[in-house]
Amino acid sequence: MSLLHQPVIRHSPSTGAGSPDVWGIYEPDTGSIQYVCADPATKQAALIDVVWNLDPKHYRFSTGSMDQVLALVADQGLSVTWVLDTHPHADHVMASAQLGRLTGAPTAIGDRVGDIARIWAGIYNLPGAFDPARDFDRLLADGETIALGDLSLRVMLSPGHTLGSVTYVCGDAACTHDTLMQPDAGTSRADFPGGDSGQLWQSIQAILALPGDTRLFVGHDYGTADRDAPQWEATVDQHRATNRHVRDGTRREDWIAARDARDATLPLPDRIMAALQINLRGGRLPPAEDDGHHYLKVPIDRF
């Protein structure tokens, strides 16, 4: 069976002083990669972009992915000090609120999530429904650093996929979310409300200006015609030499034209309408109604 249909865990070990251990945990239903980034000395860890599993055929939730992440944390003797997301995801539901409750660690996301919330409150016609300052423990500004044991983790605003996406840089590792794909797959889409291909180009160039040996960890992998096993790690130098969309020598205007043309053919992710209503609440369902059940809105003819 193709590994694209199975959970996969891989360890990218620390390369020395100032370098974190990074584990990637592949979630096959959405092609998402969840990360555990840890200081080898203190064993303090950040959980990044962990999935709360939603079956879109039955609209039922399960916790297999977050259970897998927490089992890895326990097996490695780690202590969770941050629960982080790079952006409000459109393709999967975030596990942040539950992980914050289970671990006691603060939840955080980029501080421009409020701008994203206002866009989607209008799309859903839910004025006042989303309050990131209420639903996340920290809203992180561009350039802000947070402690991860003896290491520091820097926030890099990386808009384009969404207007508030952030990259987390820790030593020689960077979780680059939905900017780059693997070099053989290229780059990510920029057509969601608030997205912009020109901004995404600038964000990618800033990421590719990091030191050449920086390990870049992408947000998704769907394989290619020539590869049926998931991958998620490559260095800056590898991307600059071989990324099929943005290798050195690529012209900005050519990439934007190609990206926009490709995006115009892509369908909406099958979980998007549920995911954003929950993710913009920090990974919480809307309040239960008088029958004790939770309900989601689906806008018609908006896309």
What pLDDT is recorded for position 113?
A: 98
Residue 268 lies in a domain: yes
Q: What is the mean pLDDT of residues 231-260?
A: 98
Q: What is the mean pLDDT of residues 201-205?
A: 98
pLDDT at residue 8 is higher than 90? yes
Query: What mean pLDDT value characterizes the chain?
Result: 97
DSSP code per residue over 160-214 = SSSTT-EEEEETTEEEEESSB--TTT-B----STT--HHHHHHHHHHHTTS-TTP
| Crossing angle of the two packed helices 252-263 and 197-207, in degrees rounded to 10 | 120
Q: What confidence tier does 3 reach under pLDDT thresholds 50, 70, 90? A: confident
At 250, list the tokens: 């690529």
pLDDT in tens, 14-63: 999 999 999 999 999 999 999 999 999 999 999 999 999 999 999 999 99
pLDDT at residue 182 is higher than 70? yes
Residue 200 lies in a domain: yes
Q: Find, among 247, 134, 234, the residue nearest to 176 by Cα.
A: 234
272 SS3 class: helix
pLDDT at residue 154 is higher than 80? yes
Domain that holds residue 159: 3-277
CA distance 236 to 215: 7
Alpha-carbon distance values, 175 to 21, 90, 278 (Å): 12, 17, 22
pLDDT at residue 101 is higher than 80? yes
pLDDT at residue 194 is higher than 90? yes
Residue 286 lies in a domain: no
Evaluate whether 151 touches 223 at the Cβ level (below 8 Å): no
Evaluate whether 78 touches 97 at the Cβ level (below 8 Å): no
Residue 302 lies in a domain: no
Q: Tell me the three-class secondary structure of 84-139, residue by residue.
A: ECCCCCCCCEECHHHHHHHHCCCEEEECCHHHHHHHHHHHHCCCCCCCHHHHCCEE
Residue 97 lies in a domain: yes
Check: pTM over 0.85? Answer yes or no: yes
Q: How many domains does the chain have?
A: 1
Q: What is the mean pLDDT of residues 143-148?
A: 98
Q: What confidence tier does 1 reach under pLDDT thresholds 50, 70, 90? A: low
CA distance 158 to 230: 24
pLDDT at residue 91 is higher than 60? yes
Residues 6+ apart with CB under 8 A from 57: none
44 SS3 class: strand
DSSP letter (8 states) at residue 3? G
218 SS3 class: strand
Percent with pLDDT over 70 in the chain: 100
The CATH number of the domain holding residue 27 is 3.60.15.10
At 102, list the tokens: 């289970």
Q: What is the mean pLDDT of residues 234-261?
A: 98
240 SS3 class: helix
Residue 218 lies in a domain: yes
pLDDT at residue 265 is higher than 80? yes
The pair phi, psi for residue 135, each rounded to 5°, is: -100, -10
